[in-house]
Amino acid sequence: MRDTILEDTEAGNGDTTSKFGMWLFLFTELFLFVVLFFVFLSYRASYPEGFHHASIRLNGVIATANTFILLTSSFAVAISIVAIRKGHKRVTIWALIVTIALGVLFLVMKGFEWREKIEHGIYPTAKGLSGLGEGENLFYGLYYLMTGLHALHVIGGIVLLFVMLCFVGNGRVSRGSYGALENSALYWHLVDIIWIYLFSFFYLVS
């Protein structure tokens, strides 16, 4: 009963209303990272040398592969939207499974990259970190902070998409109402976009 009333509340434009709210939420998420971009760029301006040296020591191969993985996963989630719009439930489910699998793969690769750094004694609170050149410790500090926060968002996105997978399975998300899936896909795209920025900042601009 409550649900009918609430839908009534969002009379006639429930889907556009929730999407409007979702966009606002995505902006707030973006601003969260913009603060860190601001911090990163201001220190990069202060210590161009240190940031350069630190950057070339990161593993660019894994990061590049990860970029392709995330972009592909975004493509997969887009397919799931097209599929549900046309009512192909099986395709939707498989597209979501692929998206989630790629998301997990991204995290695993990220884990390997972190482990490699940690084995070299580069991690926050490590003694060796303060012995690095000027600005390098800041670079690695921000590296762990920003990629770590991004990884949390990836995990959040995976959980969200998993819930959507269940909803598609039991029919709560279907051809008739797929607003929740669309919003989850939007969130996944945001995670992707933020990674593009992180990739450029940490690996490309050196």
Partner 1 sequence: MSDEYYREEVSGAAPVTGFYDSSGRRAGFTPWLLSWIFSLDHKRIAILYLVSTLSFFAVGVSLGFLIRLELIAPGATIVDARTYNAFFTLHGVIMIFLFIIPVTTGVFGNFLLPIQIGAKDMAFPRLNLLSWWFYIIGAALVLLSLFTGDGLPDTGWTFYVPYSLKTAADISLTAFALFILGFSSILTGINFVTTVHKLRAPGMRWHRLPLFVWSIYSTAWILVIATPVLGMTLLLVIAERTLGLGIFDPVRGGDPILYQHLFWIYSHPAVYVMILPGMGIVAEIIPVFTRRVIFGYRAIAYSSVMIAVVGSMVWGHHMFVSGFSKTAAFVFSLFTFLVAIPSAIKVFNWISSLYRGSIVLEAPFLLALVFIFQFTVGGLTGLILGTLSVDVHLHDTTFVVGHFHYMKFGGGGFAFFAGLHYWFPKIFGRMYIKRYANIAVAFLFVGFNTLYFPMLVMGYKGMPRRYFDYLPEFQLYHVVSTVGSWILITGLIIMFVNLIYSIRRGEKAGANPWGGATIEWQTTSPPPVLNFVDPPVVDRGPYDYR
One-letter amino acid at 123 equals Y
Query: Is residue 47 near partner 1 by the rule CB under 8 A?
Result: yes
Query: Is residue 8 near partner 1 by the rule CB under 8 A?
Result: yes
Judged by CB under 8 A, the chain residues 18 through 37 that form the site for partner 1 are: 18, 20-21, 24-25, 27-29, 31-36
Query: Is residue 141 near partner 1 by the rule CB under 8 A?
Result: yes
Query: Is residue 111 near partner 1 by the rule CB under 8 A?
Result: no
Burial of 182 from C-beta contacts in 10 A (0-12 / 13-18 / 19+): buried
Radius of gyration from C-alpha coordinates of the chain = 20
Sign of CA dihedral 164, 170, 174, 177: negative
Q: What is the Cα–Cα distance from 61 to 69, expressed in whole angstroms? A: 12
Q: Which is nearer to partner 1, 125 or 170 (CB)?
A: 125
Phi-psi region of 134 (alpha: psi -120 to 50; beta: other; left: phi over 0): beta
Q: Which stretch binds partner 1 (CB under 8 A): 6-14, 52-60, 68-76, 107-115?
A: 6-14
Residues in the chain: 206
Q: Which is nearer to partner 1, 32 or 166 (CB)?
A: 32
Query: Is residue 137 near partner 1 by the rule CB under 8 A?
Result: yes
Q: Which stretch binds partner 1 (CB under 8 A): 82-90, 106-114, 122-130, 194-202?
A: 122-130
Residue from 124, 169, 175, 200 in contact with partner 1 (CB under 8 A)? 124
